[in-house]
Structure 1
Amino acid sequence: MIQQQLPITDITHLIPQKSPFVMVDSLLDFKENQVVSSFKIKEDNLFLKNNSLLESGLIENMAQTVALHTGFDFFLKNEQAPTGYIGSIKKVEILKLPVLNDIITTKVEILHEFDGITMVAVKVFNAINEEIASGEMKTVIAR
């Protein structure tokens, strides 16, 4: 198994999304049932409108953080990460939209994982550790 120091600031090889659609910048923490990412809202972001990150951008950040867990897990095993898809999103609550230059931290807890289907709980925090969004997602590995 490969060893890797955290944080990792070049995560492009760990997720399937490519610029300009990348909504995570760094892998801050990784455990078997948890992952934490960070993301700085920049001016060229596709989901930026009137200096705020749209709800769809927050949801994409949540999904990409889940993908980051899968990608890093496979990287540690020196295996090619599979492509995954969002199976469902539920209980999403957006409390506050981050704005240009904010750095958000996204924490994913893996609730269940079976046969390529993963159920997660996600929380997004701003720089002062205030929860700004949460939700549950089911992701599915393509076969």
Structure 2
Amino acid sequence: MATQEFPITNISHLIPQKTPFVMVDTLLDFTPNKVKSSFTIQEDNLLVKDHYFLESGLIENMAQTVALHTGYDFFLRNEVAPTGYIGSIKKVEVFQLPKLHETITTEAHILHEFMGVTMVEVKAFNQNQEEIASAQMKTVIAN
């Protein structure tokens, strides 16, 4: 079984997204039921406008955090990370848009997982640990 020390900054093999559409950059923590990531918002990010990370960026960051959980879980079993899709998003709330160069942290908690379908609750936090966004997502692993 593979393992690494946290934080893990080389995560490109753990998520299906590729540059320039990567919205997570560090795996901070992992358990079978949760994952925590971080992301520093850069000027060249496609989802930055007027020095703010847009709502769509926060939602993508939350989805990629979920993908990071799946990818790392497969990595630990020495298997290739599968491609997955967002099946649904509900109860999205954005309280604050993070600014350029800010590092946000995102936590996903697995609520249910069955036959490749995962229901998660995801929350994003600013550098002051204030909740800036939340959502429930259902993700599906492609067959």
Same fold (TM over 0.5): yes
Q: Where do 5+ consecutive residues of structure 2 fail to align?
A: none
SS of equivalent residue, structure 1 residue 74: helix
Matching residue's letter, 1:53: F
How far residue 3 of structure 1 moved from its aligned partner, in angstroms, is 1.8
SS of equivalent residue, structure 1 residue 5: coil
Q: Paired residues, what number? A: 143
Paired residue for 2:112?
112
Separation (CA, whole Å) in 2 of partners of 1:68 and 1:135:
16
Paired residue for 1:72?
72
How far residue 136 of structure 1 moved from its aligned partner, in angstroms, is 0.2
How far residue 41 of structure 1 moved from its aligned partner, in angstroms, is 0.4
How far residue 55 of structure 1 moved from its aligned partner, in angstroms, is 0.3
Separation (CA, whole Å) in 1 of partners of 2:41 and 2:98:
8
| Percent sequence identity over aligned pairs | 70
Q: Where do 5+ consecutive residues of structure 1 fail to align?
A: none
Separation (CA, whole Å) in 1 of partners of 2:100 and 2:20:
16
Paired residue for 1:5?
5
Paired residue for 2:121?
121
Separation (CA, whole Å) in 1 of partners of 2:3 and 2:89:
32
Matching residue's letter, 2:25: D
Separation (CA, whole Å) in 1 of partners of 2:50 and 2:32:
38
Separation (CA, whole Å) in 2 of partners of 1:114 and 1:73:
15
Residues 1-143 of structure 1 correspond to what in structure 2 (within 5 A)? Answer: 1-143=1-143
**Deviation digits for residues 32-80 of structure 1, max 9, x if unmatched?**
0000000000000000000001100000000000000000000010001
SS of equivalent residue, structure 2 residue 80: coil
How far residue 137 of structure 1 moved from its aligned partner, in angstroms, is 0.1
